[in-house]
Amino acid sequence: MSISMYQASLPVLVRGMTNLQVILGKAEAHAAEKRIDPSVLVNARLAPDMLPLVRQVYIVSDTAKGCAARLADVEAPKYDDVEQTFEELDARLQKTIDYLKEFNAQQIDGSEERPITLKMRNGPVEFTGLSYLLGFVLPNFFFHVTTAYDILRHNGVELGKLDYLGGIK
């Protein structure tokens, strides 16, 4: 049995963002319980040269919506990167989840060889749909989900592996 491009992409991204919503909810509750200004956690980073939590969430969202759009060969929606609270970050993730749920397998399957060009700082990078998904989207997406988790865990939010993994199916 083979796995389709749709199965390997959108449901995986939706699950990761859904798990991140739970993680952010736990961070918001932690801030309230410990009387920590939530903006401290939203703007926290692991190291001075790393992006803060808020930017990790933006990148998770942008990577997911860009993946769906590029694999389906449609224009991705633009988000303004203005969210600054846990509630706003949750809403952004939900908006992205809802966008991904608009796609069906027929729009994504068969995109393995679709040429995809990303405009990067050092110039364009060429991919096939499959190399884009496996070599860029999934590693990048999970790097930023993991970093968001790590920022919050480092700042005392009680999180465990099952928060990251979500319900095991």
Domain ranges within the chain, ordered by starting residue: 5-165
Question: 105-164 pLDDT, tens per residue?
Answer: 999 999 999 999 999 999 999 999 999 999 999 999 999 999 999 999 999 999 999 999
Model pTM score: 0.96
The DSSP secondary structure of the chain, one letter per residue, reads: ----HHHHSHHHHHHHHHHHHHHHHHHHHHHHHHT--HHHHHT--SSTTSPPHHHHHHHHHHHHHHHHHHHHTSPPPP------SHHHHHHHHHHHHHHHHT--HHHHTT-TT-EEEEEETTEEEEEEHHHHIIIIIHHHHHHHHHHHHHHHHHTT----HHHHH-S--
Looking at the DSSP bridge assignments, the partners of residue 117 are: 126
Domain 5-165 has CATH 1.20.120.450: yes
Question: 49-89 pLDDT, tens per residue?
Answer: 999 999 999 999 999 999 999 999 999 999 999 999 999 99
At 15, the amino acid letter reads: R
